[in-house]
Structures are given as structure tokens and as C-alpha cells.
Amino acid sequence: MGKIPTGEAFRQRFGNPHAVIHRVDVHLSLLEGAQETGRSNFTSTRMERVEQDDTGVTVFDQKGQAHRGLALIGADGVKSVLRAQYVNDPPRITGHVVYRAVVDRADFPENLQWNAASIWVGPNCHLVHYPLRGGEQYNVVVTFNSRKQEEWGVTEGSKEEVQSYFQGICPKARQLIDLPKSWKRWATADREPIGQWSFGRTTLLGDAAHPTTQYMAQGACMALEDAVTLGEALRVNGNDFVKAFDLYQRSRVARTARIVLSGREMGRIYHAKGVERLVRNELWKGRSPERFYDAMEWLYGWNVKNCLAPGAA
């Protein structure tokens, strides 16, 4: 068993707490921020194609309506239309399937109501659980290597399928997979990291720029870091979009590629079996918090003061 303290010692080391948050709460904050700008927000509007010239960008939606602006940030997720138009690279289907559910405290086992992100690993599978909203709810996430050919996408899950992958794991962990009343099922994919996201007055952000597997639990965190970095890049370039998009890209490509590549490696380590599993256990057993922190410095040592590539301004 390995333990990484995420309380005061973590805060002292990295200047921030280690926190988890319900996805809906992130969405609401973003919506409130967008509404505060007083600008138009369109829902149910699908961007289909983009044109740009020296003075701006025009986006055409599914109804053929044109929307004109000075620049475009394509934060349109793993199946980004903007990325397809400028990069058009294929996804890499992992064959790893994730099931997720949120369980109310009343239904969650008392002996697992820990105020910590916890992970149980086994051959070809792992389980994660952590409290949300001060422990009112618990997020349950289970992952396994699928036996069948997978296609990238999200569907309704089945209890029977999850159960069939978690035979023979310890009962304390196994009780988690019997809890949820309904599951969502993600057949996951990522893409090879790319060195160019910015194309003139357009750029990519979040999963559109660097879709990753979930093993580092950093996809949304990276999207938020992208946004902060982009804001800084615009600030130091006096809102010159072309220059700012270039600086933003230079500041973000290596870090986010490291997340994508580390995610693949963590997937292998978590799901190790046979002798590889013994090696994994040796690596983590008895490791001091300081050594874990040192290994995570590159990840959690990020902040707004060091977010821009050197020679930025």
C-alpha cells in the first residue's frame, strides 16, 4: 500500500490544496463566468466549419449561419471539428473501458467513506473513489481492459459487464461495483501529441488540443491551465491574438504531451500483472511522501507565475 498525504503537507509543498470537484460544479462556475461577460451565449449550436482572413474568423454553424469574431478558440472536446479541419489526425483507441457513477453517502459503504482519493489496482483493472461536495456524494470510477474490440464513445453501462471484469478482487473493493443504480460507460481514446495547435487566428484548447486517457486524472485540469495560460499570453501581448496563440502553444505543448504520455504509462502500471505487478509494488512500497512529492513537482508545481514559456514578453 502507498499513501500520499494531500492535506497540509501537500499545501505547504505546492502552495495549493489537492482538491476534487463535481463536474457539474465546474460547469456552473464556467457558465456564470461566461454570463458575467455580458456577451452572447449560444446553446444547441454546432460549429461545422471555419474560415479566417487577416482581420478575423468566421464560424459556420449547422444551420449555415455565420458568426464573425476577431479570433477563435476551439474548446470543442475530443472530437473537435476545428482540430479535424486543421490537423485531421486519427484517434488511438486504447481498448480500456471506464465506468463512472455518483453514489449518495447514504448508499456508500461506511468502511470506505474516506476523505481521500483512493485507488485499488489489480490485473487488467482498477477502481477509484473519492468524496464530492463535502462527502454528500461519492464518485466511483472503475476501469478495465476490454475483451472486445472497442469503438470510441460513451454509452449506458451494464452492471453485469462490470461485475464480469472484477471477479476475484478483494471484497472491500468489490462492494463498490455493486453499488451504482446506473453506470455510464466510456470506451476511451487519446491522440498522439502534436506540436501545433495555433493556426493564425484560431487555436485549440483542452481535449481538442491534447485528448488524453484518464489515468493521470488531469484532462480537465489541463483545460483549465490552458485557459489561464492563454489569458496570460493575451495579457503580455496586448491582446494580439496571433502572437498570443503562438506563445500559448509554446507554453503548453510539452506539458500537456507529458500528461498524455504519462497517462499511457500509468495505465500500464495500474493494470500490471505477473512479475510486472511485483515490480510496480516494489516501486511504491514504503516510499516516503517527500519522494512522491518530488516525483510530482512537475505536475503540481505549476502556477500562473511560471506558466508562460521563457522569453515570453
Ligand X SMILES: Cc1cc2nc3c(=O)[nH]c(=O)nc-3n(C[C@H](O)[C@H](O)[C@H](O)COP(=O)(O)OP(=O)(O)OC[C@H]3O[C@@H](n4cnc5c(N)ncnc54)[C@H](O)[C@@H]3O)c2cc1C
Task: Give contact residues for ligand X (rule: CB under 6 A).
Answer: 46-47, 75-78, 81, 98, 100, 186, 206-208, 214, 217-221, 223
- Closest distance to ligand X from the beta carbon of 258 (Å): 15
Nearest to 190 by CA among 99, 79, 101, 76: 79
- Rounded to a whole number of angstroms, the minimum distance from the CB of residue 218 to ligand X is 5
Q: Are 270 and 121 in contact (CB under 8 A)?
A: yes
Closest distance to ligand X from the beta carbon of 238 (Å): 27
223 vs 244 by CB, closer to ligand X: 223
Q: Which is nearer to ligand X, 188 or 237 (CB)?
A: 188
Q: How far is CA 239 from CA 244, 245, 307, in A?
A: 7, 10, 17
Give which of 168, 155, 94, 119 is closest to 20, Cα–Cα: 119
Residue number, 31 or 236, with CB nearest to ligand X: 31
| Closest to 117 in 3D by CA, of 227, 269, 268, 10 | 10
Q: How far is Cα 126 from Cα 99, in angstroms, rounded to an integer?
A: 11
**Which residue, 98 or 233, is less far from ligand X as judged by CB?**
98
Minimum CB distance to ligand X smaller for 183 or for 293: 183
Distance separating alpha carbons of residues 207 and 59, to the nearest angstrom: 20
Indicate the residue among 78 and 247 with the shorter CB distance to ligand X: 78
Closer residue to ligand X (CB): 203 or 214: 214
Task: Give the closest residue to 221 by CA, choosing from 263, 170, 160, 175.
Answer: 263
Q: How far apart are CA 263 and CA 210, in angstroms?
A: 12
Q: Please, what is the minimum distance in Å from the beta carbon of residue 286 to ligand X?
A: 27
* Adjacent-strand bridge partners of 100: 141, 184
List, in order, residues 6 or more apart from 220 with CB less than 8 Å away: 23, 26, 206
C-alpha cell at 32: 456564470
Give the nearest distance from C-beta 260 to ligand X in angstroms.
11
Min CB(34)–ligand X separation in Å: 12
Here the cell at position 85 is: 479541419
**Whose CA is closest to 183, among 215, 150, 144?**
144
Torsional sign, CA 290, 294, 295, 298: positive
Q: Which distant-in-sequence residues (6+ apart) come within 8 Å of 36 by Cβ?
A: none
Supply the minimum distance, in Å, between the C-beta of residue 78 and ligand X: 6
Give whichever of 151 and 282 is closer to ligand X, judged by the CB atom: 151
279: left (phi over 0), alpha (psi -120 to 50) or beta: alpha
Residue whose CB is less far from ligand X, 119 or 220: 220
